[in-house]
Structure 1
Amino acid sequence: MTEFRIDRLGAKGDGIAETSDGPVYLPFTLPGERVATNPLGGEAEPRILQASPHRREPSCPHFGACGGCDLQHADDELYRSFKRDVVVTALARAGIDAEVAPLVPCPPASRRRVTLSAARAGGRVLLGYNAPQSHQIVAIRTCPIALPAIERALPDLRRLAAILVDRKRPLRLTVTATASGLDIAAAGGARLTDGMRGDAIGLAMDAGFARLAADAEVLVKARAPLIDFSGITVEPPPGAFLQAVSTAETAMAERVLGHVDGAKRVADLFSGCGTFSLRIARRSAVHAVEAEDGPLAAQVAAWRSVPGLKPLTTEKRDLFRRPIPAKELKGFDAVVFDPPRAGAEGLCRELANSSVDRIAAVSCNPATLGRDLAILVAGGYRITSVTPIDQFLWSRHVEAVALLER
């Protein structure tokens, strides 16, 4: 056995011990702890010899085996500091000198969307999350990050997986808690026979699911699955992107709307189903750009259902392959963008050459956010605030909203 003292947490939540041979990464350890581990990897986890005062008992019986949570063993003080520091460090590495606000936290049992995996194992079907750094599925009985409606449905979801799962590849179930019930989108399942389709529909009806889709085919819709965007209800297409926690979404929207308030015309880029564009339309004309037809159609339908909103126009466009040129951005007072983890490098290069007054950048990847902000700052923008927002509880992932102006 070899002893180590943990000096700090790494970006992935592992404890790091600095040694003469370089850093040693030890999972599920905390700064200040003394731990012992087998250098040949004989133990799954390091043995704690001296625990940190910030260590606490994890709330989930699957912690450590399930790869969904990295930091349930850290108390709130250390955990929130770690998440803020992830953003601070990413920006510093990109050469960004900006004040980063305290983390906006999210509570347990608040996640409205989870993606579960299922696979056959002998005569059983396992339903849960992948083990850390593995494709092995850890079957779960509970999930303390998910809304109770999702947790209660785990037995029915396991039975549904047994109907849909393929023998050779894992099935993914994206489960969203909506105002009208659970919305289930299955992907990667077996080719449906009439019998499988009938069994899946019967189970969905008995379980009270609002909608069930398999590889974009809607098998049954008992009720329209509705998501509320501050009083505007949207029916998203099956599996469409949504922010994982509604309170986190509200925190993002408050900062974005406050920043673009007073703008006559706003561009919402990577708009999804209208998380920001529909809220913005209460005060400003908005142009929403997204790569797929379904989310655009969903927000147009929601916009039409609410009288008195400002004009909403939409555009189907792959912003990675075709960023909007600076000259086409001339008619906008403000721009909002919320890209996938790859960020918005091409778009930011165009924005840096534009005359847009205000930008709200929303990101789930602090590293690409830092890169994108550096491009904008070099183009003459000034960062007025950066706020980290938690919606991936007990994981290393963190959202952030950065506001800029010329």
Structure 2
Amino acid sequence: MSPAVSRVNTSPSLASSDLTVPSALPPSPPLSPKPTSSRAVLRAQHHLRQLERGVIDRRDCTFYLSQQEFADLERRIEAVPRLQQYWTHKLRYDYDAGVLTLRMPDAIHEVFIKRVEAALQASLIATAERLEASDTNESATAAAAELRRVFLSGNTTLNLEGVESSSQDSDSTPAIIRRSPDASFCHPSSGTNAPPLVVEVSYSQQKKALGYMADSYIVDSRHAIRCVLGFDLGYGKKIGEQREASVSVWRAGVDGEGVGICRAVVEGELFREHGESVDGMLELTVADFLPPAVAAELSESALKEPITIGFADLAVFLTEAETTKAVPPAPVPSAGSTRFRKRKRTPSEELSDTREESFTRAEDDALAMRQKEDPEWVERDCGLQRKVSKRRARRKMDSNEDPAVAVAGAEVAISRR
């Protein structure tokens, strides 16, 4: 009988323990639902995909995104490898003060900047050779050696940390700033994110923004960027009329209170007027192309050595760029084939960016609807990702599936959690 008695006495003891444990701990609150992207983010992402696919005109476009929305957009871009490649290596954009500007330069812009790059590189080499030939002191030879180390970085996107507004100083909380200059000249000691000199080309409707961008480059880089060279290619009033064009130069400076500022050295000086070149010379210096730490080791005379491009040359560059766009080459038919056919896209390619966006939006909408119906419902990220991956794999196998079915599939995959 003792075993039976033992079992009777043990059971209430375990039940009592089980009842007291839950009352000692409060219930855990449900996890927050996965945040959905704002409409502004989705619109920007859709526009980027259309640009990458080449289905819309390449023109400047502006989106108003908070820093959180901009970070969300970048996460969404990183999730699509092809779009990330376009965003990182091909697109030019600026993000500052909650404004994302996609910059789409035309053929005139591109041809002109390439000619300016080549002219500046040639002038750098000529100046280095002149310093070496002078052989006046060791500083001149050292300056020539440093000039030969300067390299062209193109339109690499720069990551800067600025302040929220012009009324705040550099001690304020830094804001996210991204800029894609048309060209940048770098030195190995400072890397590609802090080029001593950047080049920007704008048109008449962007002329006011050019000075603001120069100020941002120089001040937001804390004077790591020493010089900004800006060209304004203004449009003529009539179709076919040649443009007036001007050049501006901004340099890092210090005001009377010892605060670092951006100082305009040359502002809006015409190098072409009424279709004709203007007498003059664009004159930069050795100091404009070297980082502050390198320049500090050189003599004042070597740093002031001029690096020049004639206004006549700049006018020729612009005229040639305009001519290149005005007369597009006619397509030359192949001598062999008279009919042409593109290759058939693979199933993975058929999952186009537009369909991918519809899937993402369907997931967000279904998630929001499920949370609205049941506030205590908790999404489990890992399980959701596995089901979404399986669903997308099925879509790749059937590229002709109705988009309405895709939306329904996304909703079912989520509601089954």
Q: Say which structure is richer in strand.
A: 1
Structure possessing the higher radius of gyration over alpha carbons: 2
Q: TM-score, normalised by structure 1?
A: 0.23
Q: Say which structure is richer in helix.
A: 2
